[in-house]
Amino acid sequence: MKLNQRQIDVFNAVMVNKSITAAATRLGSSQPTLSREIREIESRLGFDLFLRFGKRLTPTEQALLLHEVVLRSFVGLDEIGRAASAIRTYNAANFRIASIPAYAESIVPRVIQRFETTREAVLFSIHSHEESSLRHEMTTQVFDLFLAETLFQRESATGQTVYVGDMVCVLPQGHPLAARARLTPQDFAGQPFIYFGQNDPYRHKLDAVFHQADVIRDYAAETTTAASVCAMAAAGVGISIINPLTAASHLGMPVAFRRLSVAVPYHLALWHPARSTRQAQVQRFITTLHEVAAQMAAELARHLTPMP
């Protein structure tokens, strides 16, 4: 029943491309060859992978379940590929950063811009990953700095947290609640709410706030990045609560930001290898990050409606 790598590649190509012809083109093969290989795979597995209606294929429930497993294996291979890419650029990049998207899209560009105003030339290489992937990336020892939301233990790295302000409410411009200077948990009752993913650490903190206030929010959507939350709010999908860094980087966009009556402190977590030949640059980057974070907090405070 064991499949070889070629058979896994064929199955994945057909599932992704939703057509044997397109899959054959992707793999540099032919339609008859892939059709034969799919039949051989089904024979080896002992169940049908596709329902055939003329030239159209429809995956069976078993195929969908199998493809979920295959995709997880490809994610593992992708992580190996990213590590290899980082190692390949080891000598090309002076400073390598692995960051969650929220920081790669907000504070990191500002820190780099400040570096570029100085005389010291630094070539940056930014790798944006979800937080779960960062734990694996740290084992490669090829990054100079890691930025995430959670400070987890790692013997080979030195970690610290940076307080960057409290989380803030985000609403579509013109929303009735935008007339208020500060929103309470009760203001969210019955409102369409844009949630973060189940694994997001701040989702659980916000859920605890609303649970304690006995407030039920209406589900509008779920996403994994604060930038996506802002885009949905701007489109009128719903309201939400996001980190202050993303809020500061979206000032001037078609959204409104308001304070939350319950303070939910937001910290940026960072690590760097305990032993590094670039300790001076690491410390300078961290110092600059503190400065930029304070500047962004001040910008956001000026744009928030003054509290009564």
d(CA 261, CA 181): 10
Domain 5-81: give its CATH architecture. Orthogonal Bundle (1.10)
d(CA 248, CA 242): 10
Q: Per-residue confidence at 18, pLDDT binned at 50, 70, 90?
A: confident
- Collapsed DSSP state (helix, strand, coil) of residue 265: strand
d(CA 162, CA 173): 30
Domain range summary for the chain, segments of one domain joined by + = 5-81, 87-164+267-302, 165-264
| Residue 242, φ and ψ in degrees, nearest 5 | -130, 175
Q: What pLDDT is attached to residue 137? A: 63
Q: Quickly list H helices, the chain.
A: 5-17, 20-27, 31-45, 61-88, 101-104, 107-116, 131-137, 201-212, 226-234, 244-249, 279-303
Q: What pLDDT is attached to residue 226? A: 94
Do 165-264 and 87-164+267-302 fall under one CATH topology? yes
pLDDT in tens, 213-259: 999 999 999 998 999 999 999 999 999 999 999 999 999 999 999 99
- How big is the CA angle at 171 (ends 149 and 225), to the nearest 5 degrees? 30
Q: Within 10 A of 255 (CB to CB), how many other CB atoms are there?
A: 24
Task: Give the CATH H-level superfamily of domain 87-164+267-302.
Answer: Periplasmic binding protein-like II (3.40.190.10)
d(CA 300, CA 100): 21
pLDDT in tens, 252-272: 999 999 999 999 999 999 988
d(CA 172, CA 55): 46
- How big is the CA angle at 136 (ends 135 and 139), to the nearest 5 degrees? 100
- Chain-centroid distance, C-alpha 38: 35
165-264 CATH: 3.40.190.10
**Is the per-residue pLDDT at 93 higher than 60?**
no
Q: Per-residue confidence at 307, pLDDT binned at 50, 70, 90?
A: very low
**Is the per-residue pLDDT at 300 higher than 70?**
yes
- Collapsed DSSP state (helix, strand, coil) of residue 18: coil
H/E stretch holding 57 reads strand 56-59
- Chain-centroid distance, C-alpha 122: 26
What CA–CA distances, in Å, run from 32 to 11, 13, 29, 286?
A: 14, 15, 9, 58
- Half-sphere exposure for 270 (CA within 13 Å, toward CB): 23
d(CA 81, CA 84): 5
272-291 in b/e form (b: 16+ CB < 10 A) is bbeebebeebbebbbebbee
CB within 8 Å of 286: residues ≥ 6 apart:
145, 160, 270, 272
Using DSSP bridges, classify how beta strands 218-223 and 124-128 pair: parallel, antiparallel or unpaired: unpaired
pTM: 0.68
